[in-house]
Amino acid sequence: MSSPPLGDSLNNTNKTFLFLTIKPNDLVSLFLKGGLTISTFFLVTLFFYPSLSNHYYNPTNSITTFHQNIFQRQTTTTTTTRTNIINYELEEPTNISHILFGIGGSTTTWDTRRYYTELWWQPDATRGFVWLEKEPDENQTWPGTSPPYMVSSDTSSFKYTCWYGSRSAIRIARIVKESFELGLSNVRWFVMGDDDTVFFPDNLVTVLSKYDHNQMYYVGGNSESVEQDLIHFYTMAYGGGGFAISYPLAKELVNILDGCIDRYSQFYGSDQKIQSCISEIGVQLTKELGFHQVDIRGNPYGLLASHPIAPLVSLHHLDYVDPIFPNITRVDSIEKLVTSYKSDPGRTLQHSFCYDLNRNWSISISWGYSLELYSYLLTAKDLETGFRTFKTWRSWQDEPFTFNTRPVSNDPCEMPLVYFMDRVENVGGSMTRSRYKRYVDYFGKECEKNKQALAVQYVDVSASHILPHFWKKVEFPKVEPQFKAPFLGFTKTAEVWNSRACMIGLIGTFIVELIINKGILQVIGVEIGKGLDLPL
Ligand SMILES: *[C@@H]1O[C@H](CO)[C@@H](O)[C@H](O)[C@H]1NC(C)=O
Ligand SMILES: *[C@@H]1O[C@H](CO)[C@@H](O)[C@H](O)[C@H]1NC(C)=O
Ligand SMILES: *[C@@H]1O[C@H](CO)[C@@H](O)[C@H](O)[C@H]1NC(C)=O
Ligand SMILES: *[C@@H]1O[C@H](CO)[C@@H](O)[C@H](O)[C@H]1NC(C)=O
């Protein structure tokens, strides 16, 4: 700002002092004008301070802004509020009691299917219900080892037009709504499953605790079957593998679900209807590799022996595939896998491999399940690809699947020796030792040339526990960043100095008025008593 020459300004503003160049009053007036200008400037900066400032200064919790930035980058589909962010940070991590399970059951099949649920259900820890189409028969006592049951409400008024499907899909789709409407406290996630879904609850908690339950999330997995994904959708979580809906999403979903079920009456399954409704809300599926619909036929060995590096969350359709361990019943074989899971939930089915370069052996391990010994060297790429020991779900063909497979060779010298988990023990220090026992002729007659390898009957594997934090690939900083208030700029310092200047200015005006008997506006030459003198 360029100010006019001193004489001019006096000329213009105060005619009575026209010929007097310097008087004490002039100095005072000049001083006051300067003071007023500076005060006005500070006032304006103070006024715009909150909108100009990037660093919102919060003396009680200086970390909030930092976290807010991280979270806003992670979540795009939702309305983030400050309170949510702070709460999520301060809240307890998600545990099993924050999950409400909804299992689609039926009175007629529960007695034969309940075994699957009872394998993982912990009456004193897991929360949820089996939803039945009607009250169980009076002579049918409800087992104490099963989850408590609820009877679904009537769905006869809904439309269902899929000619090859069953109306029960409507009832199953509405479980999430009926579960929500129970209004139970402290529920962060609604997890849906079938009566033949085997969940691995610790891993489910591990997976869900990666996500902010205050946001809208829909978490699950696809079918392994390309045919299924084409007929249904690639974009949906398959109900048998189970899926999770966060509380805020469930809250939106229950509002539209009933009308939505009619809009998608042509769809076969409850999971398809749920996904269609969620797509109306604008939320997409977050795929997690540990949910397994198991849409395959035959021997699931190849699938389980090459599990991706992801916590094992669920297995389904175990009635439709061979027992997962050979030569024992289905039930015993799942129980066997559960013993591994109980020793180290995070490591169950996790795949690793190693080489013995003295003997040129390759070894591939699916922890807690099986081990393969090759008497030659294989690349990592081969070892991570599972053997195609199974067929496609609908057409019983060799392919395709939604993942790569390699064929089982007729040449016994190309096939590995196979060992199955025999026992697992915790050996202290967060370590397990698991023993794998050779299963003779698993892939047919073994190669006679590999005498040295054939002599190996057992393999012991030592491994450290995979603890839940391992899976949190993006971790929040352990040390809270400290923001130092800069000395210059729109900061706390500025605010303090602004207020001080303001006080000094205010008191100064009073003093001046006392001494020279004039108001400040009078002194600088503004005629007072006429307001702003606007030509109205
Ligand atoms: C789960 O977290 C809640 C806090 O939301 C806590 O009260 C409860 O004790 C926790 N339960 C377990 C089993 O850790
Ligand atoms: C229960 O009673 C019904 C008839 O009321 C009968 O058909 C059914 O077999 C009985 N079930 C059991 C477990 O006794
Ligand atoms: C299968 O189990 C039976 C009895 O449990 C046993 O006698 C037989 O040797 C087993 N077969 C194999 C190939 O291990
Ligand atoms: C291992 O393989 C390398 C090259 O592939 C070969 O030179 C070496 O002799 C083999 N060692 C044994 C013990 O077979």
User: What is the residue with the minimal CA distance to atom 11 of ligand 3?
Assistant: 327
Say if residues 477 and 399 touch (Cβ distance below 8 Å): no
Q: For residue 360, give the ligand 4 atom closest to its CA.
A: 1
Rounded to two decimals, the pTM is 0.74
Q: Where in the chain is the domain with CATH 3.90.550.50?
A: 90-293
pLDDT for 301 equals 97
Measured between alpha carbons, how far is 239 from 294 in angstroms, rounded to an integer? 11
List of the chain residues with pLDDT < 70: 1-25, 27-28, 32, 36, 39-40, 42-89, 473-498, 502, 520-521, 526, 530-536
Question: What is the per-residue pLDDT for 492?
Answer: 64
- Which of 87, 91, 92, 100 should be mutated for ligand 1, with most atoms under 8 A from CB? 92
Ligand index nearest the alpha carbon of residue 453: 4
C-beta contacts of 272-280 below 8 A and 24+ residues apart:
272/232, 272/233, 272/236, 273/169, 273/170, 273/173, 274/173, 274/176, 274/192, 274/236, 274/239, 274/243, 275/218, 275/233, 275/235, 275/236, 275/237, 277/253, 278/218, 278/245, 278/249, 278/253, 279/235, 280/256
Q: What is the pLDDT of residue 72?
A: 37
Q: Give the per-residue pLDDT at 523.
A: 72
Ligand showing the shortest atom-to-Cα distance for residue 107: 2
Beta strands in 80-124 (DSSP E): 99-104
Which numbered atom of ligand 1 lies nearest the CA of 125? 13
For a ligand 2 pocket test, name from 107, 114, 138, 139 the mutation site with the most ligand atoms within 8 angstroms of its C-beta.
139
pLDDT at 293: 96
Tell whether domain 90-293 is in CATH 3.40.50.1440.
no
Please name which ligand lies nearest the alpha carbon of 332: 3
Phi first, then psi, for residue 219 (nearest 5°) are -120, 130
CA of 297 to the centre of ligand 3 (A): 23
User: Tens of pLDDT along 121-130?
Assistant: 999 999 999 9
Measured by CA distance, the residue closest to atom 7 of ligand 2 is 137
